[in-house]
A and B are shown apart, each in its own frame.
Chain A
Amino acid sequence: DTAVSQTPKYLVTQMGNDKSIKCEQNLGHDTMYWYKQDSKKFLKIMFSYNNKELIINETVPNRFSPKSPDKAHLNLHINSLELGDSAVYFCASSQGLGGRGYNEQFFGPGTRLTVL
């Protein structure tokens, strides 16, 4: 059974287009995240939601808008795509924000976005 799933796995699009990436987790976790991994494999947090509430919003262009319709889903919409948006985007989830054992994050397989 897939714990954290993302669609699509690959996304190739033209500059200026708008696209969305979807994420679902079946772990019963309360917290979900979006990370960006650049060409040098550096993984950086973008957003986090806890129980559908935005709790982390890093310095990300406002062309990126996360949406969490429920605790099990976190989508990422990107407007007016730019060349520099090309990267692998990972969704992750954790049980919560509490103490030990709640913070381990489990990652999806990633979505490779290529902007031409």
Chain B
Amino acid sequence: EDQVTQSPEALRLQEGESSSLNCSYTVSGLRGLFWYRQDPGKGPEFLFTLYSAGEEKEKERLKATLTKKESFLHITAPKPEDSATYLCAVQAPPGTASKLTFGTGTRLQVTL
């Protein structure tokens, strides 16, 4: 069974203090690894898809990287508006449609 573990569960940063969120996964043939951002009371918002080890994607202060066992979401010089829960999900190989298996998320709080 596909498994996704995210750490830390919660992270508190000061504005400008860079850090990384971790997503470890076990899956029988990775089809894609997805990062989402979820604000309180809202639906997950798509950020990135990574398909193969070594791939990197960037968007503003966020950079996602992928290895064969884990993905990192690096946050550079975060701002308070980056506060949210960040969710990681994996998609299994063909034959399982587009099913995403999610981790439990990392709750990020960025303070002034």
Taking Cβ atoms with an 8 Å cutoff, the residues of A that contact B are 4, 31, 33, 40-45, 48, 50, 55-56, 90, 92, 94, 97, 100, 103-110
Chain B residues positioned under 8 Å from A110 (CB to CB)? 41-43
Sample of 23 A–B contacts (CB below 8 Å): A4-B43, A41-B85, A41-B104, A41-B105, A45-B99, A48-B98, A50-B97, A92-B43, A100-B32, A100-B49, A100-B51, A103-B31, A103-B32, A103-B91, A103-B98, A104-B49, A105-B34, A105-B46, A105-B100, A106-B46, A107-B36, A109-B42, A110-B41
Would you give the shortest CB distance from A6 to chain B, in whole angstroms? Answer: 8
Nearest 9 Cβ contacts at the A-B interface: A107-B43, A43-B102, A55-B97, A107-B44, A109-B43, A56-B97, A103-B98, A110-B43, A108-B43
A43 touches B44 (CB 8 A): yes
A90 touches B44 (CB 8 A): yes
> Which residue of the partner chain B has the closest CB to A105?
B100
- Within B37-80, which residues are at the interface with A (CB < 8 Å)? 38, 41-46, 49, 51
> Which residue of the partner chain B has the closest CB to A100?
B51
Taking Cβ atoms with an 8 Å cutoff, the residues of B that contact A are 31-32, 34, 36, 38, 41-46, 49, 51, 85, 87, 89, 91, 97-102, 104-105
**A28→B23 CA distance, assembly (Å):** 31
Chain B residues positioned under 8 Å from A94 (CB to CB)? 98
B99 touches A104 (CB 8 A): no
